[in-house]
Structure 1
């Protein structure tokens, strides 16, 4: 089956979805016997629930996952057991402090006021088109760096400066996907020779090191009770592990990776879906005016986190975006003991299991015959509240004990950014510009999202 996969590398997510639909949601992939590529691919919610929740302890990330994502080192994405618990406990304790969300709110609005709005106004005045995906990546990168490192790289400035680390994230995610498909011996040879995709990963790793090491070398000794590096320094020393600076590099890299790419990718697809669904845009604008008490022509006011909870239709539109275009398109696990899945498939120990979160949202058996339609209403109850869906059916933020801790943060930031842009500007797609998912770990738009702006009147 390897030739078929290689022929469809340029449209891997769509190809995988097509195969999964034909296979009832679970498919056994067979590669050449000498390549160690046999794996089970699934988007069955019952399998997701079993592996991510019910039998969680049997499915750590494992050495295979760590090998593929070695660039992230000992960060939370690669961590298992005690190290994972240290990451989660430390991050959660910091995010649970009363001042954290005030700091988050201030950080986002500061970046919108000093970065996003001036850049968009400059684009509008010059009547040029702009890649919204690039804007959102810069915005998210700056914001998460302030939260994690207490440092603003100011990549979102009018001159749109080139920041190597910020761009390295987009470079790394495609080779990381290909490592799941290409035989290990081949990508290891490429790495040794420093050619192809592996050369890109090496260069990305160098950019990460040059950015993060100088900023974590103080070992988190900065002042402030919300300093993340300080909290991890204390936790790491307490666990008697060595190489503190390397650990802080891996930790901050993973958190910035999560904060930059997931939020920016979601906002990109949100504005693309809004552009092709004008009725949804009208409803969001009406909600902004009624719930935030602003009228057309009024001076825009920054709303707080509590007020953001009133934007129910916008929340539904964001959930619908995440259903159709989950930022983390796939996940990878392997059991440490043999297991039988709810779908009836047998897994021997260390059998690779690939979860296509992208495909889950496109299954009629999961979301109904209208699964490909953009319908924010499916997330709103008859009483006008947000409808909850279990994480194994809606795995945009992962599922089970490893559910993303930044879920609430992401919705807050996306609502603030989306409402601000929609209130000020009408987004028009550049005619003829292709928009399709990129074949990478993070579901970015392959060619970005080029748009023109016109003022709301």
Structure 2
């Protein structure tokens, strides 16, 4: 089925949607026998609920998945069974905390007012073309770094700076995608020789890990000082460090790997899915002026109610 996919590569989403519609919402893709590209695509909410909720234990990710997603380490997106349950329970506990909810709301509002709006105003006045996917990814990366790491990398500015750890983050994700579309022996051979995409991945991992371990070290020092801890807010890394210190003490160097993997997984989950959804939302609004008008009417009506 690969030739058909390549022919439709310029409109891959429309092609996939059409294929799913013609097959009742679920379709199996057969790739070349040597490429490890056989997979099932579904848009049926019942299937998604069955796999991710009702019968999650029946769908382990397995060792092959973990090898491909090596940059994620042992975080929740790469784990199964008891490890997955324990991490999920802890994440849910932190995310239901009112302090964390307030922090996320505050961070997003700050990035909207100080980052996204000024950029959109600027390109609108200059009548410049801007890549909305890049803009929204920068917005989500900054927001998530603030909520997860307690650190603002300031990727979302009018200058569109190239931030080393953010660029490394992108390269890591590209390498994982690359591992999906080439035979396992090929990317392993590249890794062994340190050439091609695997060489890029190794360098990106080194850059990103230096950034992550620096954040962990900084937050751990802050956690030891009560006054600074209270001022720092409730970012997830600080919350995890607090738990780790209770369990392992201050000399828990072995737990730094867990903190690195956990924070990396949270950044991956918190950036790409929301940013992809927002980009599609803006595209759909742009394609449907009537919907845009109704949204603007609701915003104006809400503002009038607030003023009253």
- TM-score, structure 2 as length reference: 0.81
Is 1:26 the counterpart of 2:43? The answer is: no
Distance change in 2, residues 1:10/1:177 (3 Å): farther
Is 1:250 the counterpart of 2:261? The answer is: yes
Q: Work out whether residues 219 and 248 of structure 1, in 8 Å CA contact, stay in contact via their aligned partners in 2.
A: no
Q: C-alpha displacement at 1:234, in angstroms?
A: 4.2
Q: Secondary structure at the match of 1:26?
A: strand
Residue equivalent to 1:226: 234
Distance between the aligned counterparts of 1:41 and 1:130, measured in 2? 34
Residue equivalent to 2:281: 270
Q: Work out whether residues 149 and 236 of structure 2, in 8 Å CA contact, stay in contact via their aligned partners in 1.
A: yes
Q: C-alpha displacement at 1:147, in angstroms?
A: 0.7
Residue equivalent to 2:40: 41
RMSD over aligned Cα atoms: 3.1
Structure 2 gap segments, 5+ residues each: 224-228
Residue equivalent to 1:206: 206
Q: Work out whether residues 103 and 235 of structure 2, in 8 Å CA contact, stay in contact via their aligned partners in 1.
A: no
Residue equivalent to 2:142: 142
- In the alignment of these two chains, the number of paired residues is 293
Distance between the aligned counterparts of 1:84 and 1:237, measured in 2? 21
Is 1:87 the counterpart of 2:87? The answer is: yes
Q: Which string of whole-angstrom CA distances, capped at 9 and with x for unpartnered residues, describes residues 323-346 of structure 1? A: xxxxxxxxxxxxxxxxxxxxxxxx
Query: Which stretch shifts more, 250-259 or 275-284?
Result: 250-259
Question: When you count strand as a share of all residues, which structure comes out higher?
Answer: 1
Q: C-alpha displacement at 1:239, in angstroms?
A: 6.7
Q: Secondary structure at the match of 1:152?
A: coil
Distance between the aligned counterparts of 2:43 and 2:215, measured in 1? 42
Distance change in 2, residues 1:28/1:118 (3 Å): closer
Residue equivalent to 1:194: 194
Q: C-alpha displacement at 1:119, in angstroms?
A: 2.6
Structure 1 gap segments, 5+ residues each: 295-300, 304-457
Q: C-alpha displacement at 1:67, in angstroms?
A: 0.9
Residue equivalent to 2:296: 285
Q: Which string of whole-angstrom CA distances, capped at 9 and with x for unpartnered residues, describes residues 283-314 of structure 1? A: 100011112327xxxxxx9x9xxxxxxxxxxx
Q: Which has the higher contact order (CA 8 A, sep 6+)?
A: 1
| Aligned positions of 1:301-340 closer than 5 A | none
Q: Secondary structure at the match of 2:158?
A: coil
Distance between the aligned counterparts of 2:63 and 2:281, measured in 1? 35
Q: Work out whether residues 219 and 244 of structure 1, in 8 Å CA contact, stay in contact via their aligned partners in 2.
A: no
Residue equivalent to 1:122: 122
Distance change in 2, residues 1:289/1:100 (3 Å): same
Q: Secondary structure at the match of 2:156?
A: coil
Q: C-alpha displacement at 1:246, in angstroms?
A: 1.5
Distance change in 2, residues 1:247/1:8 (3 Å): farther
Residue equivalent to 1:75: 75
Distance change in 2, residues 1:9/1:149 (3 Å): farther
Q: C-alpha displacement at 1:6, in angstroms?
A: 7.9
Q: C-alpha displacement at 1:8, in angstroms?
A: 5.7
Distance between the aligned counterparts of 1:20 and 1:264, measured in 2? 23
Q: Secondary structure at the match of 1:263?
A: helix
Q: Secondary structure at the match of 1:122?
A: helix
Q: C-alpha displacement at 1:112, in angstroms?
A: 1.9
Residue equivalent to 2:226: none
Question: When you count helix as a share of all residues, which structure comes out higher?
Answer: 2
Q: C-alpha displacement at 1:206, in angstroms?
A: 2.6
Q: Work out whether residues 94 and 226 of structure 1, in 8 Å CA contact, stay in contact via their aligned partners in 2.
A: no
Distance change in 2, residues 1:198/1:283 (3 Å): same
Q: Secondary structure at the match of 1:130?
A: coil
